[in-house]
Amino acid sequence: MYASAILDVFSQRYLDARNQFIGAAETSPIVAKLNGFQHPLKGPKGEKLCCDVAWLGDLQAKQVVILVSGLHGVEGGVGSAIQTDFINRYRRLPQDVCVIVVHALNPWGFASACRNDHEGIDINRNFVDFSASLPEFRAEDLWQKLASSELDIEIVAQDREQFDVLSEGQYSESKALYYGGQQPSWSRQCIEQLAGQLKPETRDSIIVIDIHSGLGPYGYGELISDHPMDSPARDIALNVFGATVTEPVLGTSSSGEKRGLHDYFWHALGDHVCFVTLEFGTFGYQEMLRVLLADQKLQQQVTDWQDDETLEVKHAMQDFFCPDEKQWQELVLFRGRQVIEMALASLTGSGNHVGE
């Protein structure tokens, strides 16, 4: 369907993905600004780590679309491909629209083929109020049994209720999955600074599309809304993206209800801010838990990048979260383009209308 050159935007590796993204941004006639956030650490190959941000179109525009990739590190391959493809394809934007492309929000995780960041934090559980008391770890027993292999992965993967409790987010055990941290993470601070530059109160509408992978059917791009049922922004999500929007609170999503989501930061900025997660499925819950547990175990020690076992675990992570398969990449690219086009059309009145 797509020429293989078009699929070259896919890369499982941070450095290559970043080079492609920067290359596209530097040669685009509509990139008005390229800035970003330098990470304090270096990658496994000694490479510089950065969350790069490209601003396309009119910086003062009243309508804004924000595309985010790599919040979950290793998932960055999919979002990066959609972002670079977008910058390569568009030679102009509708009037009064600015598109902000946030590349590799967790660059350490992307470069290290981890889902978490350098402090073991799951960024998508980190947006909580740390001055308030933190919720208990409801899945602690379940986690201990999983980590010690007392409980079979298959059983948890097939029990949706157990999986949802396990993945809802916890703030007690830094060496366990879905750990939300004890303070705002580096990536969260990037988002807070970005919002400061954006000045949401000066804009009429903002649509954030946060690109992930790992949950749901192979190649399917699910649009997930975690907006409260009675919020105006939920109506915007349904108006803009239609019946493909799923909602964890209704049980229609492959994702369960969660604590500390990235969504919640943007929800709090006003009713004119609509946030959706674009989640691309790969090989299912069971295989996901298998690769994540293996990587979690590996991270208990200092990672030896020369070791064959390390590379095996890391390649399994990359192959799970960004499969190097033409049919998956084609599905992803088609859906990615479609979702961005729906967002842009809604802002310019050529499709569904926002906020009516």
- C-alpha to C-alpha distances, 88 to 23, 52, 329, nearest whole angstrom: 9, 16, 17
Contact code string over 74-113 relative to Zn ion, x by CB under 5 A: -x--------------------------------------
Q: In angstroms, how far apart are the furthest CA atoms of the chain?
A: 59
Is 212 one of the binding residues for Zn ion (CB under 5 A)?
yes
DSSP assignment string, 245-295: EE-GGGT-SSS---SS-HHHHHHTT-TTEEEEEEEEE-S-HHHHHHHHHHH
Q: Which residue is nearest to Zn ion (CB)?
A: 212
Nearer to Zn ion, 63 or 69 (CB): 69
Nearer to Zn ion, 63 or 282 (CB): 282
Question: Which residue, 215 or 237, has its beta carbon nearer to Zn ion?
Answer: 215
Which residues share a beta bridge with 274?
Answer: 207
β-bridge mates for residue 31, sequence order: 56
CB of 332 to Zn ion, least distance (A): 14
Which residue lies nearer to Zn ion by CB, 43 or 79? 79
Q: How many CB atoms lie within 10 A of CB 349?
A: 10
Question: Whole-number minimum distance, CB 199 to Zn ion, in Å?
Answer: 28
Q: Which is nearer to Zn ion, 58 or 75 (CB)?
A: 75
* Site map 153..192 versus Zn ion, x via CB under 5 A: ----------------------------------------
Please report, as residue ranges, which positions from 258 to 277 form the binding site for Zn ion (by CB under 5 A).
Answer: none
Taking the C-alpha atoms of residue 278 and residue 67, their distance in angstroms, rounded to an integer, is 10
Phi/psi at 307 (5° precision): -80, 135
Q: Which residues bind Zn ion (CB under 5 A)?
A: 72, 75, 212
